[in-house]
Amino acid sequence: MRAVNKYIIIDQIVEEVKASSGLILSAVETDEMRYGKGTIVSTGNEVIAVSVGQTIYFDKRAGHQVRLEGKVYGIIKESDVVVVLEESDLRA
């Protein structure tokens, strides 16, 4: 599977979210959060700001999903990416 143009295929990451008080937020509360986290699987030929393997935060309200061989992938536009995590961010 390969993305084209300005599209990006992502493997969404489901993570446990803690409030500042240390309480773990429920699935309903985390679903209400605007941004999701994912790893880039493929980028289109016109994508310049991100690359395969990077971990990103993206607008969850944008894009679509596709199922391939039993796994669900997200398909978003490059403009839906709001944060690219650096290696130092992932270790923290």
Domains and CATH numbers, the chain: 7-91 (2.30.33.40)
Does this model's pTM top 0.75? yes
Give 14-41 pLDDT, tens digit per residue.
766 666 676 666 555 556 678 899 999 9
CB atoms inside a 10 Å sphere around CB 31: 10
pLDDT of residue 68: 92
Are the CB atoms for 80 and 60 separated by under 8 Å? Answer: no
Query: How far apart, in whole angstroms, are the C-alpha atoms of residue 17 and residue 24?
Result: 6
